[in-house]
Chain A
Amino acid sequence: MKRIRIIYLLLMFFVFMVVACFPQPEFDEEYAGKRLNAVGYKSPDWWATLDSIINEYPTEAWANYRKGLALIRDDNYIEGISYLEKSAELDPYRYANYTGVVKLDLGDYEGAIEHFKTSIRLKNHIDIIVQGSAYERMALAYKEMENYEKAIETFDTYINKFGEDDVYLYTFMHRGIAKVETGDLEGAMADFDTIIRKWDKCPEAYYQKGLLYHHKGDNVLACKQFKKSLLYKNYIRSNPSSAYVDQLYLSDIERMFDVCCGK
């Protein structure tokens, strides 16, 4: 009887050893995505599936990114940021830029700049999740930190590297606003004109030009710009859930119209 027990124990041990030695299947993002989509979004099963993927593949970034994103959307910044940071650490090529975007949105400009620098260093400045370049975002972070010289320098690098036609149009508006802050009003005007030359229905560019003319004391020319801005109000850049940096609101144009054109 004792010998049989020993044989069975050895047999079980052998089976466990063989199973343990099976190589872990390679991480398949498409399959992981299907696993996640098979259960209701943010249901207990959904969170459990994400956790199990994180445990099964601790060196893969994707599930950390998905969990971080979901937590941030629930305003759980404490846990959400740590998962996003983990994803950026595991796969900086894909996730550094987006983690920077989230930090930019939270006003953590220094933290955001580090992530944008990483994504530029890895030659992946364009984010696939939220469209936009790490160069432009880094410049925005400097601008929001009121480091206008550094912001303009970064905008310049971005534009010079990729050319005027291959950068995001609003880059010129942000650079123009930064130039206003440094007192370079002519440079700012040139930037706003660049936008209008490329797209003559940009309400933000007309609004910024109007502010410049008003600043110079020319309310007649300012009024004309605010009128054009109002004319194209339906094209105001807007995001359904949050505001952009330098977001323009219709009420801003109306207020300046009242000031410069009279009620």
Chain B
Amino acid sequence: MHRFYDIKNLIAWVFFLICIFAQCLPTTHSEAQLYGLWLGVHIESNPNFPLAAFNEYRADGTMSFKQLGKDAKTYIWSLNQNILTIDTMQTTLIAVSQDTFINKGTYRLLLRRVKDAPIEKDEGELRSFLKNTSWLSEDRKLHFDKEKIYTESEKGLTEIRCWNIEKYNDYAFLYQTGYWADCDRFKGRAMQIIKADDEELHLSVWNEADKYEVVYTKEKEPADFDNLLKNRPFQLCNTSNAITAGDIGVMYKDGGTALKNHFYDNYKITKNIENENGLLILKFIINCEGESGKFEVVGVNNAYENHDFHTELTNQILQLGKSLEGWTPFEHEGENYDSRKKIKFRITNGQIKIIL
């Protein structure tokens, strides 16, 4: 017969309770885990928005924060359990590994550790090295001219952005900035240059979804830019998401009434779409240059369930939307922005009943 206070039982229960208690303790991190150079990858509020900034944490209790193209600022930092204090700002350290750390203020920030791959060439030498060259990887080509980088895939030219080089300590970074019409806007995502010589351009790319290494080999001849630019693609001016703002009727050159009449007057009902009912939403983006693109249609039926409208109907709406020209970009405090737009069509028996 065992007694309630049997020593073996008691030890087992104390051990069990300690285990449970230990589970409840927060995980702590040490300052040493943060020492070194980190590069911002993304911020949770806008995963496409690159956090193009360096964070260098030193053992002497100082850290440097440096945005691309700007001067570094130095602060005092400390880590108390999981509370990371930089100057007067406090954030919570969520996770730290050898290569990444996640830090949370209002939103989570993801930073990556810079690879130990020093580059001998200085910034000027790297710019000269890349200027007027073309590079080929498995799925794309990069063409550099003096200030722009043209990305080409099997589908053709996919993006034009301006480019620049930044070195931090001995490490070199290629970053894309601006867009085809204005190089001074919006700092882009930085890629670390692992190797840059006449044989290969090795870039380490990190984004919110993935980390990958891409190795380009040099093309013998630089690109024919005039030929490339014959099919300039629609692209966002910003490197992150377009905002939802601006009344579409005000942004169209002839006003909202003319915009609606464009659809009312040119839409044709056919036999195949006579029984279509519901709400069709035409979505697109007007970039900061007043160009429209990235068109898509979404349909719901009258019970607000997903509904695929007949292609004869959706194609007509898409074509009529694409044929609208003369947009004024959304402007705020003197700057133009990419903006998301939508036009809603209430469809009754295949006919456009009302445009909203």
- Chain B 1-50 interface residues, beta-carbon cutoff 8 Å to A: 2, 4, 6, 9, 44-45
Give which listed residue, A1, A43, A238, contacts B45 with CB less than 8 A. A43
A212 to B248, CA, bound (A): 27
B45: chain A residues at CB < 8 Å are 40-43
Give which listed residue, A105, A242, A252, contacts B247 with CB less than 8 A. A242
Report how many residues on chain B are interfacial, defined by Cβ distance under 8 Å.
37
Nearest-neighbour CB distance to chain B for A251, whole angstroms, equals 3
Q: Say which one of A58-66, A75-83, A191-199 lies at the interface with B.
A: A75-83
Nearest-neighbour CB distance to chain B for A229, whole angstroms, equals 14
Q: State whether the Cβ of B245 lies closer than 8 Å to any Cβ in chain A.
A: yes
A241: chain B residues at CB < 8 Å are 244-247
- Chain A 95-142 interface residues, beta-carbon cutoff 8 Å to B: 105-108
A75: chain B residues at CB < 8 Å are 281, 283, 298, 342
Can you name the residue of chain A whose Cβ is closest to the Cβ of B345? A107
A144 to B348, CA, bound (A): 14
Q: State whether the Cβ of B69 lies closer than 8 Å to any Cβ in chain A.
A: no
Interface pair A251/B257, CB less than 8 Å apart: yes
- Chain A 26-66 interface residues, beta-carbon cutoff 8 Å to B: 39-44
Nearest-neighbour CB distance to chain A for B314, whole angstroms, equals 16
Interface pair B247/A238, CB less than 8 Å apart: yes
Nearest-neighbour CB distance to chain B for A212, whole angstroms, equals 17
Interface pair A43/B249, CB less than 8 Å apart: no
Q: State whether the Cβ of B306 lies closer than 8 Å to any Cβ in chain A.
A: yes
0/1 interface trace, chain B 260-275, chain A, CB 8 Å (1 if under): 0000000000000000
Give which listed residue, A4, A43, A77, contacts B2 with CB less than 8 A. A4
Give which listed residue, A39, A77, A78, A107, contacts B346 with CB less than 8 A. A107
Binding site for A on B (CB under 8 A): 2, 4, 6, 9, 44-45, 106-108, 244-250, 253-258, 279, 281, 283, 298, 300, 302, 304-306, 342, 344, 346, 353-354, 356
Nearest-neighbour CB distance to chain B for A208, whole angstroms, equals 14
Can you name the residue of chain B whose Cβ is closest to the Cβ of A105? B356
Q: State whether the Cβ of A249 lies closer than 8 Å to any Cβ in chain B.
A: yes
Nearest-neighbour CB distance to chain A for B72, whole angstroms, equals 27
A240 to B339, CA, bound (A): 12
Q: A40-B107, A247-B256 are in contact. List 13 more A-B contacts (CB 8 A).
A: A1-B9, A39-B106, A42-B45, A73-B244, A75-B342, A106-B279, A107-B346, A108-B279, A108-B346, A241-B244, A241-B247, A243-B249, A251-B258
Interface pair A78/B306, CB less than 8 Å apart: yes
A255 to B261, CA, bound (A): 14
Q: State whether the Cβ of A24 lies closer than 8 Å to any Cβ in chain B.
A: no
Q: State whether the Cβ of A259 lies closer than 8 Å to any Cβ in chain B.
A: no
B248: chain A residues at CB < 8 Å are 243
A241 to B250, CA, bound (A): 10
Pick 19 A–B contacts, CB within 8 A, sort by A: A3-B2, A4-B9, A43-B107, A75-B281, A77-B304, A78-B305, A78-B306, A106-B356, A107-B279, A107-B346, A108-B279, A108-B346, A238-B247, A240-B247, A243-B248, A247-B256, A249-B256, A251-B255, A251-B258
Interface pair A249/B255, CB less than 8 Å apart: yes
A244 to B354, CA, bound (A): 14
Nearest-neighbour CB distance to chain A for B336, whole angstroms, equals 15
Interface pair B244/A249, CB less than 8 Å apart: no
A249: chain B residues at CB < 8 Å are 249-250, 255-257
A240: chain B residues at CB < 8 Å are 245-247
Nearest-neighbour CB distance to chain A for B240, whole angstroms, equals 14
A233 to B353, CA, bound (A): 30
A106 to B279, CA, bound (A): 8
Known contacts A77-B300, A240-B245, A247-B249, A107 near B354 by CB under 8 Å: yes
